[in-house]
Amino acid sequence: MLSGAHFSGVAVRTHKSSVAARLLTALATLLGLLVLGATPSQAADAQAVGLHISNGRLLEANGNHFVMRGVNHAHTWYPGETQSLADIKTKGANSVRVVLSNGHRWTRNTPEDVAAVIASCKANRVICVLEVHDTTGYGEEAAAATLDSAADYWIGLKDVLAGQEDYVIVNIGNESWGNTDPAGWTDPTIAAVKKLRAAGLEHTVMVDAPNWGQDWQGVMRANAQAVYAADTTGNLIFSIHMYSVYDTAAEITDYLNAFVTAKLPILIGEFGGPADQWGDPDEDTMMAEAQRLNLGYLAWSWSGNTDPILDLAIGFDPNRLSSWGQRIFNGANGIAQTSKEATIFGGGGTDTQAPTAPGTPTASAVTSTSANLSWPAATDNVGVTAYEIVRVTGTTETTLAASTTTSATLTGLSPNTAYTLAVYAKDAAGNRSSRSATVTLTTASPPTGTCAVAYRVVNEWPGGFQADMTVRNTGSTPVNGWTLTFAFPAGQTVTNMWGGVPTQTADTVKVAPASYTTTIPASGSISIGFTGTKGTTNPSPTAFTLSGAICTTS
């Protein structure tokens, strides 16, 4: 994925936009099934050094099966965001794929910087997947670096990487071939793998697929056995990137199962969920199949995308998850639910005993948008490391917050709304307690504000619409910084917004300002527009609050 202020990753991908592309995919699938039929042999004398591959699975040195549950982080474009790894860990991730540069296209990450990244990963108890991003789209993207130059970069970091085999996976190059002659991917990939091994690197090596990582022509699938055999240690894992090419369950299950059946190691090294102009990725199936097959996944991406629909956290703020972030961290088969810390940090396989349930929580300091929650501590045979606070609605649970102590402040609540809340405890191994008893609180009615909102639909089409909102400050002083909140009455969703940054949870939408709409002048207004999805009806929201205060509507 190309990301950050420098990129728009969605824009560079050629997706299956024609019947011909689908026919090629089907043919590649058939060839892949034939080629992947054999089980890869492991080198008889290969010795497990740290993270390694055995029987098609990623294991730790002690034999514990490690399943990556994490995200991508654009370190090379945002080197000042040094808190990100810690923030990602607090959301439950056990691994982070870190974007680096070998200097061909962006500023080179020095050995000192890479050493600091590794140290931060270890301090925050996450496994590091390090990747060179300069190779993205080689053969189609004129600025891209060769995979051979990426291999040279890793060899130049040999002293930094030495001894980190328990903590680091080397992803040779990101999406190292575009859509132009993707068959050319195979030989350079084999050569790069051999070059790293000849130089003495013993880490597990990851290779990305061609077709901008999505392998829609099946080249990696058809040649996976040959690439795997090129690694004399047998410690190589394949990475498929799943975006809008993978918009049906069948495509996802067929691809992943072909590798699993052949006992060829694979993970979803990048994936997106929000719909784009090429299609709507089926992230639900991606995550469900990864969980069912015990395969890793690494969502794109923590923050800093040019297209903010792919930001998991808005503005690198762990307390402002987007709807995409809520899905990844707190949704079904998400990170909070399925992640287990690597045993090298004391988590994982040997401790299977869950903590006791926390005591019944109590609520205090309830306002229209926030509340404090506290509860008696849980106990554990090793130690409780975190608590997860959930909202209970019938048989459905939605994670609202996490805490390392026995209290939390819940923010972003809807006014005049009843919340039934409960708490889970987790230990370092990822074991989760049974749920605590529940407590119900009702947020206060919001105050009346000096604001007015005009909402109108300006265009509609089957399944979608465009709307705009004018937010007026009716007061005598400027409004600096704000959050606009409203709820869709018929299941609509925001897909793209300008003038604001949306976060949607179920029907509730919270909009933060864009850089150019932060201030609403006294007696002035700002405009927000968006496109969205809809069902058969498209009724307008009827109530709006600005920073928790009720606005009049027109």
What lies within 8 Å, CB to CB, of 333 at 6+ separation is 284, 287, 288, 290, 291
Helix (H, G, I), strand (E, B) or coil at 510: strand
Ramachandran sector of residue 168 (left: φ over 0; alpha: ψ -120 to 50; beta: rest):
beta
Measure the CA–CA gap between 497 and 241, rounded to whole angstroms.
Answer: 25
Give me the count of residues in the chain. Answer: 554
Task: Spell out the residues 6+ positions from residue 373 whose beta carbon is closer than 8 angstroms to its own.
Answer: 361, 362, 363, 364, 389, 407, 408, 409, 410, 421, 423, 439
Rounded to 5 degrees, φ, ψ at 92 are: 105, 0
Residue ranges in 296-339 assigned as alpha helix (H) = 323-330, 335-338
CA distances from 465 to 248, 301, 471, 501, 513 (A): 23, 27, 20, 18, 22
Cα 544 from Cα 534, distance rounded (Å): 20
How far is 304 from 316, CA to CA, in rounded Å?
Answer: 7
394: left (phi over 0), alpha (psi -120 to 50) or beta: left
Distance, in Å, from the CA atom of 39 to the CA atom of 516, rounded to the nearest integer, reads: 56
Quote the tokens at residue 99.
């974007």
How many Å is the Cα radius of gyration of the chain?
24
Measured CA to CA in angstroms, residue 328 lies from 35, 118, 323, 527 at distances of 33, 24, 9, 30
Positions annotated as catalytic residues are 175, 270
In three-state secondary structure terms, 221 is helix
CA distance 132 to 435: 42
- Map residue 550 onto helix, strand or coil: strand
Query: What is the DSSP code (8-state) at residue 303?
Result: S
Tokens 């058939």 belong to residue: 30
Residue carrying the six token digits 């009702």: 442
As given in the structure block, the two tokens for residue 45 are 């004398």
DSSP 314: G
